[in-house]
Structure 1
Amino acid sequence: MKVTPLSIPDVLLLEPQVFGDSRGFFFESYNQKKIEQAIGRTVDFVQDNHSLSARGVLRGLHYQIQQAQGKLVRVVQGEVFDVAVDLRRTSPTFGQWVGQVLSAENKLQMWIPEGFAHGFVVLSESAEFLYKTTDFWAPEHERCIAWNDPELAIEWPLDGEPSLSGKDREGKCLAQADLFD
């Protein structure tokens, strides 16, 4: 597995070694030893999530202020633009974002540590998105940053307005959000 720190070095791009031939392909999508070596610490994933979304659906930017979740994310069908925003006040990259195209074709994964908001927009007709989390979903601690916060200025690859859930339409600007130390 090739590991590449992104412009926010705590967010990692993971590229598996893919073995393919005329029959198809095989790759190891998860290996705890390799993930922990890449991240530099022990992680325990406690929940797997799977979503299906249509083109133009934007999910995020989500995080949990307590029971913070580290996420290992990938796409198994389609293509998304995946974003992580650093919400750690004491971090040198506080308020910065990083984005990456993840697709079934490129098989890339992204590690998003605790203390980050996460979101994605679907670029293909549809996309199936998988993510492992280091803590359980706790709706009472869930928060949402506005996808279009001008302070963040995320460069979403959108044609027009995205399709949002009610929760995502109510996202707060970074200046008004609950943050991590």
Structure 2
Amino acid sequence: MQLNRLDVADTYLVTPQVFPDDRGHFLEMFSSPAFKEVVGHEMNVAQVNCSLSVKGTIRGLHAVSLPGQARYVTCPQGAIIDIVVDVRLGSPTYGKHVAVELSSENRHALYLAEGLAHGFAPLTDEATVVYLCSNTYAPGREVQINPFDPDLALPWPDTGAELLIADKDRTAPTLREAAERGLLPTYVECQELYAQLNGLTLDGENR
């Protein structure tokens, strides 16, 4: 499999090698050696989540306050658009987003490091999303950003279906409001965490 950096720092698109035959096909959805070679450290999988969403649903934008929760997202059934937003104060890509399609046809996956926010919406009548998480769910450490923040202007799909969104997401603060309330991680804090995961100090020296 290949991991390619996307325009939001510390976000990667994962493209697996698919082996088709007359029975169907086979692929590796996750490879720890391939992941470590590109990202620089192994992904500690502490929790695996699975959600089913119907067309019209928007889930997100969600992040987790540090030490955070890195996520490795796949869509084994149906198709979604997944949008990653950089909410790390001081990041060179702060406030920017990338949108990728994950589906049972392309078999792509998406990795986003700790401190980043993401959300997704189905492009098909139903979509199943499975994601590996580096830490377990921690009530009280969730960070929600309004998916309809006009400053972000995210490209949510217009499927014609009734909009379905949780109250906590509909009433979540904008990115600017979240920053003013002190809810967001800083880029420096996140870089320190990534360096620790890679066994380095922030200046790149081995520990």
Q: Same fold (TM over 0.5)?
A: yes
Amino acid in the other structure paired with 1:81: I
| Residue identity matched to 1:148 | F
Partner of 2:165: 164
- Distance across 1 between alignment mates of 2:32 and 2:66: 24
1:16-55 maps to which residues of 2 (within 5 A)? Answer: 16-55=16-55
What does 1:27-176 align with in structure 2 at a 5 Å threshold? 27-159=27-159, 162-176=163-177
Segments of structure 2 that go 5 or more residues without pairing to the other structure are 187-207
AA aligned opposite 2:152: L
Which stretch shifts more, 63-72 or 73-82? 63-72
Q: Quote how far apart the aligned CAs of 1:78 are.
A: 0.3
Deviations along 1:19-45, one digit per CA (max 9) or x if unpaired, are: 001111011111211112121223211
Bigger-Rg structure (1/2): 2
- Are 1:67 and 1:136, in contact at CA under 8 Å, matched by a contact in 2? no
RMSD: 1.2
Contact 2:85 2:98 in 1 (8 A): yes
Q: Which has the higher strand share?
A: 1
TM-score (norm 1): 0.95
Shift of 1:60: 0.2
Larger relative helix fraction: 2
Matched to 2:141, the amino acid is H
Would you say the 8 A contact 1:74–1:129 is kept in 2? Answer: yes
Q: Between the two proteins, what is the percent identity of the paired residues?
A: 38
How many residue pairs are counted as aligned between the two chains?
Answer: 181
Shift of 1:17: 0.6
Q: Distance in 1 between matches of 2:151 and 2:129?
A: 27
Distance apart, 1:114 and its partner CA: 0.7
SS in 2 for 1:92: coil
